[in-house]
Amino acid sequence: MKKKKKQGQRINKYLSLCGIGSRRKCEKYIKSGQVSVNSKVVKDFSTYVKPEDTVKLNGEPVEPEKKTYIILNKPAGMITTLEDPRDRSMVGDLFENEPFVKPVGRLDKDTTGVLLLTNDGDLLYKLTHPKFQVPKKYVVTVKGLVKKSIGKQLARGVELEDGEIARGRVVKINLKQNRSIITLILREGKNREIRRIFATLGHEVHKLDRVSFATITYKNLKRGEWRYLSQREVRVLSQVVD
Protein backbone atom coordinates (compact mmCIF):
# COMPACT_ATOMS: atom_id res chain seq x y z
CA MET A 1 0.00 0.00 0.00
CA LYS A 2 1.31 3.44 -0.95
CA LYS A 3 2.27 5.52 2.07
CA LYS A 4 0.09 8.58 2.48
CA LYS A 5 2.04 11.81 2.16
CA LYS A 6 1.87 14.01 5.24
CA GLN A 7 0.41 17.48 4.79
CA GLY A 8 2.19 20.67 5.80
CA GLN A 9 5.85 21.40 6.56
CA ARG A 10 8.26 19.89 9.05
CA ILE A 11 8.58 22.14 12.07
CA ASN A 12 12.24 23.06 11.45
CA LYS A 13 11.53 24.05 7.83
CA TYR A 14 8.41 25.96 8.90
CA LEU A 15 10.39 28.04 11.39
CA SER A 16 13.03 28.70 8.77
CA LEU A 17 10.34 29.98 6.40
CA CYS A 18 9.21 32.30 9.18
CA GLY A 19 12.61 33.99 9.06
CA ILE A 20 13.80 32.61 12.41
CA GLY A 21 17.10 31.41 10.99
CA SER A 22 18.71 28.38 9.38
CA ARG A 23 17.11 24.96 9.97
CA ARG A 24 19.99 24.05 12.28
CA LYS A 25 19.36 27.16 14.35
CA CYS A 26 15.63 26.40 14.44
CA GLU A 27 16.34 22.87 15.65
CA LYS A 28 18.14 24.33 18.67
CA TYR A 29 14.99 26.23 19.60
CA ILE A 30 12.89 23.09 19.16
CA LYS A 31 15.24 20.93 21.20
CA SER A 32 15.29 23.44 24.06
CA GLY A 33 11.47 23.45 24.31
CA GLN A 34 10.97 27.00 23.07
CA VAL A 35 8.53 26.01 20.30
CA SER A 36 4.87 25.06 20.62
CA VAL A 37 2.23 23.95 18.13
CA ASN A 38 -1.38 24.53 19.15
CA SER A 39 -0.23 25.34 22.71
CA LYS A 40 1.71 22.05 23.03
CA VAL A 41 5.51 22.13 23.30
CA VAL A 42 7.15 20.06 20.57
CA LYS A 43 10.69 18.69 20.57
CA ASP A 44 10.33 16.21 17.70
CA PHE A 45 11.92 17.50 14.49
CA SER A 46 9.56 15.31 12.45
CA THR A 47 6.49 17.24 13.68
CA TYR A 48 4.45 18.55 10.74
CA VAL A 49 2.79 21.96 10.77
CA LYS A 50 -0.46 22.38 8.84
CA PRO A 51 -1.84 25.72 7.61
CA GLU A 52 -4.50 25.82 10.34
CA ASP A 53 -1.97 25.23 13.16
CA THR A 54 -0.77 27.97 15.53
CA VAL A 55 2.99 27.97 16.06
CA LYS A 56 4.71 29.99 18.77
CA LEU A 57 8.33 30.66 19.65
CA ASN A 58 8.79 31.62 23.29
CA GLY A 59 5.06 32.33 23.47
CA GLU A 60 5.03 34.64 20.43
CA PRO A 61 3.12 33.55 17.27
CA VAL A 62 5.26 33.11 14.16
CA GLU A 63 4.12 32.89 10.54
CA PRO A 64 5.96 32.41 7.23
CA GLU A 65 7.17 35.72 5.90
CA LYS A 66 6.43 36.93 2.41
CA LYS A 67 8.76 35.87 -0.37
CA THR A 68 11.74 38.18 -0.69
CA TYR A 69 14.12 38.66 -3.61
CA ILE A 70 17.33 40.68 -3.31
CA ILE A 71 20.28 41.58 -5.53
CA LEU A 72 23.62 42.47 -3.94
CA ASN A 73 26.67 43.91 -5.67
CA LYS A 74 29.09 41.74 -3.71
CA PRO A 75 32.41 43.30 -2.69
CA ALA A 76 35.69 41.40 -2.70
CA GLY A 77 36.90 39.95 0.60
CA MET A 78 33.54 38.59 1.77
CA ILE A 79 32.52 34.95 1.89
CA THR A 80 29.07 34.02 0.59
CA THR A 81 27.31 32.99 3.76
CA LEU A 82 24.92 34.49 6.30
CA GLU A 83 26.41 32.82 9.38
CA ASP A 84 30.06 32.03 10.11
CA PRO A 85 31.35 30.47 13.36
CA ARG A 86 34.86 31.70 12.50
CA ASP A 87 33.63 35.31 12.45
CA ARG A 88 34.98 36.04 8.97
CA SER A 89 33.76 38.94 6.86
CA MET A 90 30.60 37.69 5.12
CA VAL A 91 27.71 38.96 3.01
CA GLY A 92 25.39 38.32 5.96
CA ASP A 93 26.98 41.38 7.61
CA LEU A 94 25.24 43.52 5.01
CA PHE A 95 21.74 42.25 5.85
CA GLU A 96 21.31 42.91 9.55
CA ASN A 97 17.62 43.15 10.51
CA GLU A 98 16.55 42.15 7.00
CA PRO A 99 14.31 39.14 6.09
CA PHE A 100 15.91 35.70 6.29
CA VAL A 101 17.19 34.90 2.81
CA LYS A 102 19.68 32.49 1.31
CA PRO A 103 22.30 33.13 -1.39
CA VAL A 104 21.44 31.80 -4.84
CA GLY A 105 24.65 29.86 -5.42
CA ARG A 106 28.00 31.20 -4.31
CA LEU A 107 30.69 33.65 -5.32
CA ASP A 108 34.08 32.94 -3.79
CA LYS A 109 35.70 35.39 -1.40
CA ASP A 110 37.57 37.46 -3.97
CA THR A 111 34.86 37.46 -6.66
CA THR A 112 32.69 40.54 -7.00
CA GLY A 113 29.36 41.31 -8.63
CA VAL A 114 25.81 40.03 -8.88
CA LEU A 115 24.66 37.85 -6.00
CA LEU A 116 20.97 37.05 -5.69
CA LEU A 117 19.39 36.12 -2.35
CA THR A 118 15.88 34.84 -1.64
CA ASN A 119 13.68 32.84 0.72
CA ASP A 120 11.81 31.37 -2.26
CA GLY A 121 13.12 27.81 -2.02
CA ASP A 122 11.61 26.58 -5.27
CA LEU A 123 13.08 29.39 -7.37
CA LEU A 124 16.44 29.11 -5.58
CA TYR A 125 16.62 25.41 -6.42
CA LYS A 126 15.85 25.98 -10.09
CA LEU A 127 18.24 28.90 -10.50
CA THR A 128 21.14 26.84 -9.14
CA HIS A 129 20.40 23.46 -10.74
CA PRO A 130 22.58 22.77 -13.83
CA LYS A 131 19.66 21.31 -15.81
CA PHE A 132 18.02 24.75 -16.08
CA GLN A 133 21.13 26.23 -17.76
CA VAL A 134 20.68 29.75 -16.35
CA PRO A 135 23.18 32.10 -18.04
CA LYS A 136 25.64 34.07 -15.90
CA LYS A 137 27.93 36.67 -17.48
CA TYR A 138 31.41 37.36 -16.09
CA VAL A 139 34.27 39.74 -16.84
CA VAL A 140 37.55 38.00 -16.11
CA THR A 141 40.98 39.66 -15.96
CA VAL A 142 43.85 37.17 -16.23
CA LYS A 143 47.60 37.50 -16.28
CA GLY A 144 49.19 36.99 -19.69
CA LEU A 145 47.74 37.07 -23.20
CA VAL A 146 45.18 34.40 -23.97
CA LYS A 147 45.13 32.66 -27.33
CA LYS A 148 42.52 33.68 -29.88
CA SER A 149 41.37 30.07 -29.92
CA ILE A 150 40.07 30.32 -26.34
CA GLY A 151 36.54 30.86 -27.60
CA LYS A 152 36.56 27.60 -29.53
CA GLN A 153 38.25 25.79 -26.63
CA LEU A 154 35.59 26.86 -24.17
CA ALA A 155 32.77 26.07 -26.59
CA ARG A 156 34.14 22.52 -27.08
CA GLY A 157 34.78 22.10 -23.38
CA VAL A 158 37.84 22.43 -21.14
CA GLU A 159 38.74 19.40 -19.04
CA LEU A 160 39.44 20.48 -15.47
CA GLU A 161 41.89 18.88 -13.06
CA ASP A 162 39.27 16.54 -11.62
CA GLY A 163 38.02 15.37 -15.02
CA GLU A 164 34.95 17.63 -15.14
CA ILE A 165 34.24 19.34 -18.45
CA ALA A 166 33.55 23.08 -18.32
CA ARG A 167 31.85 24.81 -21.24
CA GLY A 168 30.95 28.40 -21.95
CA ARG A 169 30.73 31.13 -24.56
CA VAL A 170 33.30 33.88 -24.99
CA VAL A 171 31.62 37.19 -25.82
CA LYS A 172 34.62 39.51 -25.99
CA ILE A 173 38.41 39.48 -25.60
CA ASN A 174 40.48 42.59 -24.85
CA LEU A 175 44.27 42.17 -24.82
CA LYS A 176 46.33 44.75 -22.89
CA GLN A 177 50.11 44.38 -22.59
CA ASN A 178 50.57 41.52 -20.12
CA ARG A 179 46.91 40.84 -19.29
CA SER A 180 43.69 39.76 -20.94
CA ILE A 181 40.13 40.82 -20.18
CA ILE A 182 37.56 38.24 -21.24
CA THR A 183 33.79 38.54 -21.11
CA LEU A 184 32.14 35.13 -21.06
CA ILE A 185 28.89 33.37 -20.28
CA LEU A 186 28.59 30.17 -18.24
CA ARG A 187 25.46 28.15 -17.53
CA GLU A 188 26.37 25.31 -15.16
CA GLY A 189 28.04 26.95 -12.16
CA LYS A 190 30.65 24.42 -11.06
CA ASN A 191 32.66 25.22 -7.93
CA ARG A 192 35.30 27.90 -8.66
CA GLU A 193 34.73 27.06 -12.32
CA ILE A 194 36.27 30.12 -13.98
CA ARG A 195 39.43 30.09 -11.87
CA ARG A 196 39.84 26.38 -12.60
CA ILE A 197 39.27 26.90 -16.33
CA PHE A 198 42.00 29.50 -16.64
CA ALA A 199 44.37 27.58 -14.38
CA THR A 200 43.99 24.66 -16.81
CA LEU A 201 44.73 27.04 -19.70
CA GLY A 202 47.82 28.38 -17.92
CA HIS A 203 46.52 31.75 -16.74
CA GLU A 204 46.05 33.11 -13.22
CA VAL A 205 42.84 35.03 -12.60
CA HIS A 206 43.57 38.52 -11.32
CA LYS A 207 39.99 39.83 -11.10
CA LEU A 208 36.61 38.17 -11.48
CA ASP A 209 33.34 40.07 -11.64
CA ARG A 210 29.87 38.62 -12.28
CA VAL A 211 28.04 41.32 -14.19
CA SER A 212 24.70 39.57 -14.67
CA PHE A 213 22.62 36.60 -13.51
CA ALA A 214 20.10 35.76 -16.23
CA THR A 215 19.17 39.35 -17.18
CA ILE A 216 19.65 40.83 -13.69
CA THR A 217 22.57 43.30 -13.41
CA TYR A 218 23.98 45.42 -10.60
CA LYS A 219 23.44 48.66 -12.53
CA ASN A 220 23.29 51.70 -10.19
CA LEU A 221 24.47 49.60 -7.22
CA LYS A 222 27.85 50.36 -5.71
CA ARG A 223 29.93 47.55 -4.24
CA GLY A 224 28.29 46.40 -1.02
CA GLU A 225 24.92 47.92 -1.89
CA TRP A 226 21.73 45.91 -2.42
CA ARG A 227 18.09 46.35 -3.37
CA TYR A 228 14.90 44.35 -3.69
CA LEU A 229 14.13 42.94 -7.12
CA SER A 230 11.16 44.41 -8.94
CA GLN A 231 8.13 42.27 -9.74
CA ARG A 232 9.17 42.34 -13.40
CA GLU A 233 12.65 41.02 -12.54
CA VAL A 234 11.16 38.22 -10.45
CA ARG A 235 8.86 37.27 -13.35
CA VAL A 236 11.84 37.21 -15.71
CA LEU A 237 13.77 34.87 -13.39
CA SER A 238 10.73 32.59 -13.09
CA GLN A 239 10.37 32.49 -16.89
CA VAL A 240 14.05 31.59 -17.33
CA VAL A 241 13.53 28.35 -15.39
CA ASP A 242 9.96 27.64 -16.49
Q: Are residues 78 and 179 in the same domain?
A: no
In a domain, 140, yes or no: yes
Q: Are residues 119 and 189 in the same domain?
A: no
Of 99, 104, 103, residue with least CA distance to 68: 99
CA 80 to chain CA centroid, Å, is 8
Tell me what pLDDT residue 99 has.
Answer: 58
* Residue range of the domain that includes 180: 135-213
Percent helix, percent strand, percent coil in the chain, to nearest 5 = 25, 30, 45
**Could you give the CA distance from residue 211 to residue 190 in angstroms, rounded to a whole number?**
17
**Could you give the CA distance from residue 230 to residue 242 in angstroms, rounded to a whole number?**
18
Domain boundary among 24, 45, 61: 61
Tell me what pLDDT residue 2 has.
Answer: 38
Q: Are residues 18 and 125 in the same domain?
A: no
Q: Are residues 79 and 121 in the same domain?
A: yes
Q: Are residues 142 and 197 in the same domain?
A: yes
Catalytic residue selected from 108, 110, 122, 242: 108
Tens-digit pLDDT profile for residues 200-238: 999 999 999 999 999 999 999 999 999 999 999 999 999
Tell me what pLDDT residue 50 has.
Answer: 85
In a domain, 207, yes or no: yes
pTM of the model: 0.78
Tell me what pLDDT residue 115 has.
Answer: 98
User: The domain that contains 144 carries what CATH number?
Assistant: 3.30.2350.10
User: The domain that contains 230 carries what CATH number?
Assistant: 3.30.70.580
Q: Are residues 144 and 195 in the same domain?
A: yes
In a domain, 46, yes or no: yes
Q: Are residues 43 and 149 in the same domain?
A: no
Tell me what pLDDT residue 63 has.
Answer: 85
**Could you give the CA distance from residue 239 to residue 38 in angstroms, rounded to a whole number?**
39
In a domain, 201, yes or no: yes
What phi and psi values does residue 158 have, to the nearest 5 degrees? -105, 125
C-beta of residue 172 within 8 angstroms of C-beta of residue 212: no
Q: Are residues 209 and 225 in the same domain?
A: no
What phi and psi values does residue 47 have, to the nearest 5 degrees? -60, 135
User: The domain that contains 27 carries what CATH number?
Assistant: 3.10.290.10
CB contact set of 126 (below 8 Å; sequence gap of 6+)? 132, 134, 241
**Could you give the CA distance from residue 198 to residue 181 in angstroms, rounded to a whole number?**
12
C-beta of residue 190 within 8 angstroms of C-beta of residue 129: no
Q: Are residues 148 and 42 in the same domain?
A: no
Tell me what pLDDT residue 96 has.
Answer: 65
**Could you give the CA distance from residue 100 to residue 25 in angstroms, rounded to a whole number?**
12
Q: Are residues 125 and 232 in the same domain?
A: yes
In a domain, 1, yes or no: no
Tell me what pLDDT residue 3 has.
Answer: 43
Domains in the chain: how many in total? 3
Q: Are residues 79 and 53 in the same domain?
A: no
C-beta of residue 18 within 8 angstroms of C-beta of residue 30: no
Q: Are residues 105 and 223 in the same domain?
A: yes
In a domain, 3, yes or no: no
Where the chain has pLDDT below 50, the residues are 1-5
Is position 120 annotated as part of the catalytic site? no
